Amino acid sequence: MQKIVADPDNTVRLYGLVEQYDFLSVNNEKKTKIFEAPNRQNLYRELMEGFSGDESMKAKYSETLIQHGIVDEYELTGNLGAILRPKRLTNVFPAGQMSMSNDVEIYISCKGTTTLEQVKTLGHELYGHTLFGISGLDPRHGGNTGRPDGNPTLEKQIIKSEMESEKNYNQ
């Protein structure tokens, strides 16, 4: 565990790579969350493998997929990390999981993730959710709407943080 003092009122505890973490529920019950390996999907490859035309038609089909934004990349979905805020920081922006301490706690999943995915997740959690939470901004993906796209300011910050993390990793 690494301790980071963000400011006089906020300490961040980075627990690093874990398989599970404990948290307090909204009812103040201690619970445990177990990380699961993320799902990987490459829709482009799935569609190309299912295509039964000749090479010329296959090339045109590939171009059409790419033009529609379906590219040869793996999409990763799942819960790769968590930030738990203490109760005093969840009053304004409610959370279903709160830290067991008076500090912000960050956990990164070690299950089925590459080192690069772990680095990007740390950037996502630390310089996205944590930064927003201790700055008094809404750190939830959905914001007050509960929709995945309900907090575009946070989403832009997270994308920037993940890209910077990947750049630093690759240097």
Give pLDDT, residue 169. 95
Global pTM? Answer: 0.80
Give pLDDT, residue 136. 87
Q: Tell me the pLDDT of the chain (171 aa) as tens digits.
A: 777 776 778 889 999 899 999 999 988 899 999 999 999 888 999 899 999 889 999 999 999 999 998 889 888 888 899 999 998 888 778 778 999 999 999 999 999 999 999 999 999 999 999 999 888 888 988 877 777 778 899 999 999 999 999 999 999
Given a contact cutoff of 8 angstroms between Cβ atoms, the answer to whether 98 and 86 are in contact is yes
Whole-angstrom CA distances from 123 to 5, 56, 58, 118, 170 are: 17, 43, 39, 9, 14
75 strand-pairing partners: 41
Give pLDDT, residue 74. 81
